[in-house]
Amino acid sequence: MGQSCIKFVIVGFPSLQPEYFHLVAWFFFFLYLTTVVGNFLLVVVFALECSLQKPMYIIMVSLALADIGFATVALPKLIARYWWNDGALGFHTCLFQEQMIHYFGSLSSLILMTMALDRYLAICFPLRYPVWMTNRTMTGLTLFCWVVAHIFAGISTVNFTMMPFCGPNKIVHAFCDTMSLTSLVCGDTTRQFSEAFAGAMFVLYVPLSFIIFSYICIIIMVLRMASRQGRAKTFSTCATQGCIISIYYIPRFFVYSTPYFPNLKMTPDKRIATTLFYSLLPPLINPFIYCLRTKEIKQILKHWGRSNFVLLRLA
């Protein structure tokens, strides 16, 4: 049988009882809707307000687009699985989902590193920052992230096109990814899994290493500030971003490292729940973290709200 004839089935949570399927479908539907609307609002505000055409907001919009992309690739099929019991995927559709899942994951990691670079330059080199980090520079860095992220995801996708699949076709996961597909490959998959693991660790922890370095430099610089108010504001921003970064990186390490540590055992349900937690929570809360805590965006939203209120009263 040719690979084009292979069909996969998304199982989702294997222990979930059928009576809860519609409840879970509604949960993921509202999660998807909130994620897309929240991030799309950020994109619209950036596009309409010339005052936001700054490097910091360019990278925020890039992250928002990546979050919309990931949610759109990951959630609709999972919702269909629990709403209409439609979890079937063709071979190439599954590979496309696997490619885009890892692409947007890699892209988010690179964007977080770029965001850390922007904050590092802004706080540690405030006088040189306007010269070094222009809109053109940030746009170039952003485009670089969007292109390079395809390399890491593409390696495993190309490998899967040359591998034979046999046995069960059920993907015990919420979506197609490298780990779930590797378990369905015939023969020894040690080399393929090791390559995928090495690639994942590189694209995750090289950016994380730079993020940690930049935050250490920022903290040292902030401690030297004379203004207590300035220190508190900077620490508040760093703490918020640090929370998002921790949610994004730390659980991923445990999920990818489980096969290499016998004492780290995760049931399929726990592995899926952990994966969905670190994959979907940051896109959900990023608009609130990076927008509602940003003074300029809050003022713009308040102005829009007052303008619409006046128009409604005049109507």
Q: Which residue has the higher pLDDT, 243 or 206?
A: 206
251 or 109, greater pLDDT: 109
Phi-psi region of 11 (alpha: psi -120 to 50; beta: other; left: phi over 0): alpha
| 3-state secondary structure at position 271 | helix
Phi, psi of 42 (to 5 degrees): -60, -45
Q: Tell me how far apart the alpha carbons of residues 296 and 254 are, in angstroms, rounded to a whole number.
A: 38
The encoded tokens of residue 71 equal: 């949610």
- The secondary structure of 156-185 as a DSSP string is HHHHHHTS-B-S--EE-SSS--HHHHHTTB
Which range among 19-28, 73-82, 144-153 shows the weakest confidence by mean pLDDT? Answer: 144-153
CA–CA separation, 72 and 280 (whole Å): 11
Phi/psi of residue 9, nearest 5 degrees: -130, 125
**Those residues with Cβ within 8 angstroms of residue 95's Cβ, 6 or more apart along the chain or in another chain:** 157, 160, 161, 176
97 token code pair = 């989902």
Cα angle 216, 222, 223; round to 5: 95
Of residues 226 and 40, more confidently modeled: 40
pLDDT value of position 217: 87
Cβ neighbours around 170 below 10 Å, total: 15
- Evaluate the CA torsion angle 243, 246, 249, 252 in order and state its sign: negative
Structure tokens belonging to residue 164:
């034979």
Residue that is written with structure tokens 């990931």 in the block: 70
Return d(Cα 197, Cα 257) in angstroms, integer: 8
Rounded to two decimals, what is the model's pTM?
0.86
> Domain locations in the chain?
8-303
Q: What is the pLDDT of residues 11-54, one digit of tens each?
A: 889 888 989 999 999 999 999 999 999 899 888 888 877 777 78
- pLDDT one-digit tens code per residue, 100-140: 998 998 999 999 999 889 888 988 888 898 899 999 999 99
Of residues 233 and 279, more confidently modeled: 279
pLDDT of the residue at 274 = 85
Of the listed ranges 38-52, 193-207, 220-234, the least confidently predicted one is 220-234
Whether the pLDDT of residue 295 is over 80: the answer is no
The two tokens of residue 59 are 């990278």
Which two three-digit tokens encode residue 158? 């190309």
C-alpha dist (Å) from residue 265 to 106, 197, 259, 261, 272: 25, 17, 8, 8, 13
Beta strand 88-90 pairing with 7-10: antiparallel
- 3-state SS class at 13: coil
Local structure of 80: helix, strand or coil = helix
- The whole-angstrom separation of Cα 4 and Cα 213 is 46
Q: How far apart are CA 315 and CA 299, in angstroms?
A: 24
DSSP 294: S
Which CATH superfamily does the domain covering 8-303 fall into?
A: Rhodopsin 7-helix transmembrane proteins (1.20.1070.10)
Q: How far apart are CA 213 and CA 215, in angstroms?
A: 6
Of the candidates 48, 54, 78, 42, the one whose C-alpha atom is nearest the C-alpha of residue 279 is: 78
The mean predicted confidence, pLDDT, of the chain is 81
Q: What DSSP state is assigned to residue 293? A: T
Tell me the C-alpha distance between 92 and 30, whole Å: 28
